[in-house]
Amino acid sequence: MSYDLMVFNKDKEFSNKAEFLAWYDKFTEYEEEVDYSDYKHTTQALQNFFLELIQFYPPINGEFYDEDKLDEFEEQGNYGIGHSTGKDGIYLTFSWSNADDAYDKVKELAIKHQVGFFDVSSEDGDVIYPNGDKLL
């Protein structure tokens, strides 16, 4: 089991959390006609977010997968990230041992790159826009 977070296009507007969760459920059906391991078909802001995030967590799939870098990272007791990239979001999977750091880093970079943030693995599952607004 993994610790999961998601970032999404801030221009996606939802009137409430239930509406967001319906969109999220559809997103995670992975029915878009894209290569989910390729980050290039998403928004520029999400691409920029992803390219910075992988400086901290090497990916375990996709174009930037590097077995040597991943092995070196794991020797330090850390684990890389899995990612599934759609047109308006990136689903991220981390090891639970990285959960606290991953939450902080993803949220920090989401604000920096002006993308939305969703704490998938939390019971409350905060959905936060870059301006700090939360969906209730």
Distance between CA atoms of residues 136 and 117, nearest Å: 14
Helices (H) and strands (E) in the chain, counts: 4, 5
The residues with which 110 forms a beta bridge, in sequence order, are none
pTM of the predicted structure, to 2 decimals: 0.92
User: pLDDT per position in the chain (136 positions), as tens?
Assistant: 789 999 999 999 898 999 999 999 999 999 999 999 999 999 999 999 999 999 999 998 989 988 888 788 778 777 889 999 999 999 999 999 889 999 999 999 999 999 999 999 998 888 999 888 887 7
